[in-house]
Amino acid sequence: MEAVRGVTGRKDRHKTKNNSAQAVYHKKVSEECIMAEKFHFYNSLTRKVDEFVPNEPGKVSMYTCGPTVYHYAHIGNIRTYIMQDALVKSLEYAGYDVKRVMNITDVGHLSSDADTGEDKMLAGAKREHKSVMEIAKFYTDAFFKDFEAVGNKKPDVIEPATNCIPEFIHMVEVLLEKGYAYQAGGNVYFDTSKLDDYYVFSSALEKEQLEIGVRDDVEEDTNKKNKTDFVLWFTKSKFEDQALKWDSPWGVGYPGWHIECSCISMKHLGDRLDIHCGGVDNIFPHHTNEIAQSEAFLGHPWCKYWFHVHHLVDKNGKMSKSSGEFLTVSVLQEKGYDPLAYRFFCLQSHYRKPLEFSYDVLESMTGAYEKLIKRISQLSKDGEVQQDKFDEYRQKFTEALTDDVNTSMAFTVLYDVLKADMNDATKRALADSFDEVLSLDLIKRADALSEETGEGVDEETEKYVAEKIEERKAAKKAKDFAKADAIRDELAAKGIILEDTREGVKWHKA
């Protein structure tokens, strides 16, 4: 355990709360000195759950492969970013200070990850009769709209690839100088035969399978010395109308896809990275190539921990952006689903398992999320936070997250809190605290709900009012208006006001 800073994890922990009991509580914890917790998660590089030891105690440098902005991000892409957000916030909750950088791929990503096919950005521009830059701007904005709608925190640095062309050129120059790269047919390639171990993520069996896969790749680039070599810089583009091109020592051209993540990461996070994130499809060839070129460039190991999120699938298999038809968070919203209910759904399952999406499951998750909000809305705000209970359950919640980001176990702790023998103020304070990671607007929504339905309403009152509303409805239907009015008056005498609205009968406390 290492001392990090004098607050319980998050930098904004001692912000003032409206509730006086919580304000006192927060002042108290802010005066204590607490430690960064031990943290474990699955490292794709070692293929086991590792203890996380950052390069600098208490600080985390994290890089995330961002979207290719030729089209909307589908809800599968967004699952990956939700689970990465859970990792960032879990680390922060455990006391680490995280700096996170994300690239935006707006050039160089071809339709096949093996440098073949069409440039995705160019294809997008053609499809929509717009310029590549217009497409990039439009889909970057759309991406962050959905990214934030599901409660994700924006990375500290967001860098489009087209901002960093001089850095890419420099890296390619160094790789050529060091003998790790060669020119052929006008392009510059990375020579994978110069490495002792190219398939760093793979077991012996997986290596064999990957080699067969690479050999069988349909479209072959005859300039490559080895099948696994990859393009660092294109000059002999097969696309005559390649929209984005830059001058370089090897002629006018554009960068390969993989180079951007190595350069953007080093530009902002230095030459020893703690955590690199992506979806499982990024492992090969993208992350394999990133490691090859980064370590050849640096001359020492680059990134120690690789965090990969498994895919969201539907009943037909993997969701894919290029297949044309796919679901976005905005489409879910248009259909009446809450983006935070989608987040709730994703957090219920572990990031290392494929997750199957269906509307039925989303429907039932929406119900569970609403029930949770309702339960929290019934907690009274009065009373003092019980410090010992708070610490006990905060620790349990932290243990779930530091154990390979076990978000579903974190929910179990929250439900245990709601059932536990402790006062409402402590339950509310814990729900508020847990929401630093869950980001489900638990308190905000619970307060909005209790304002709508009457503050601090217990289940018994709620049941009673619901019955009376039904009785009144029946009386009205039977044209017994005197009875209907009597029920309204009976409730009013108890401080419960009914309102007839177009959406039905609503009620609140007087």
Residue 79 interacts with, from ligand AMP, Zn ion, none (CB under 5-8 Å by kind): ligand AMP
Q: Are 94 and 238 a contacting pair, CB within 8 Å?
A: no
Q: Is 352 in the site for ligand AMP (CB under 6 A)?
A: no
- Closer CB to ligand AMP, 141 or 416, in the complex: 141
Q: Which two tokens stand for residue 458?
A: 């217990």
Binding segment (CB under 6 A) for ligand AMP, from list 2-10, 74-82, 234-242, 297-305? 74-82
Which residues make Cβ contacts (< 8 Å) with residue 423, sequence separation at least 6?
383, 384, 386
Q: Which two tokens stand for residue 207?
A: 């290596």
Angle at 356 between CA 437 and CA 64, to 5 degrees: 45
Q: How far is CA 140 from the centre of its chain?
A: 16
Binding segment (CB under 5 A) for Zn ion, from list 255-263, 337-345, 347-355, 408-416? 255-263
Residue 283 interacts with, from ligand AMP, Zn ion, none (CB under 5-8 Å by kind): none
Residue 135 interacts with, from ligand AMP, Zn ion, none (CB under 5-8 Å by kind): none
- Closer CB to ligand AMP, 44 or 282, in the complex: 282
Q: Torsion angle of alpha carbons 413, 415, 419, 421, nearest 10°?
A: 30
Among 7, 62, 65, 437, which residue interacts with ligand AMP (rule: CB under 6 A)?
65
Q: Is 353 in the site for ligand AMP (CB under 6 A)?
A: no
73-84 in b/e form (b: 16+ CB < 10 A) is bbbbbbbbbbbb
Please name the helix (run of DSSP H) or strand (run of DSSP E) that holds residue 263, with its range, or none.
helix 258-269
Binding segment (CB under 6 A) for ligand AMP, from list 77-85, 216-224, 398-406, 464-472? 77-85
Q: Is 311 in the site for ligand AMP (CB under 6 A)?
A: yes
Among 44, 152, 282, 328, which residue interacts with ligand AMP (rule: CB under 6 A)?
282
Q: Are 117 and 111 a contacting pair, CB within 8 Å?
A: yes
Site size for ligand AMP, by CB under 6 A?
17
d(CA 267, CA 100): 12
Positions in 51-90 near Zn ion (CB under 5 A):
65
Residue 67 interacts with, from ligand AMP, Zn ion, none (CB under 5-8 Å by kind): ligand AMP
- Closer CB to ligand AMP, 110 or 422, in the complex: 110
Q: Is 292 in the site for Zn ion (CB under 5 A)?
A: no
- Closer CB to Zn ion, 4 or 261, in the complex: 261
Q: Is 82 in the site for ligand AMP (CB under 6 A)?
A: no
Which residues make Cβ contacts (< 8 Å) with residue 477, sequence separation at least 6?
none
Please name the helix (run of DSSP H) or strand (run of DSSP E) that holds residue 459, with its range, or none.
helix 459-477
Q: Is 261 in the site for Zn ion (CB under 5 A)?
A: yes
- Closer CB to ligand AMP, 312 or 484, in the complex: 312
Q: Is 108 in the site for ligand AMP (CB under 6 A)?
A: no
Q: Are 181 and 230 a contacting pair, CB within 8 Å?
A: no
Q: Is 68 in the site for ligand AMP (CB under 6 A)?
A: yes
**Peptide bond before 155: cis, by omega within 30 degrees of 0?**
no
Q: Are 129 and 216 a contacting pair, CB within 8 Å?
A: no
Which residues are near ligand AMP by CB under 6 A?
A: 65, 67-68, 76-77, 79-80, 278-279, 281-282, 309, 311-312, 318-319, 321
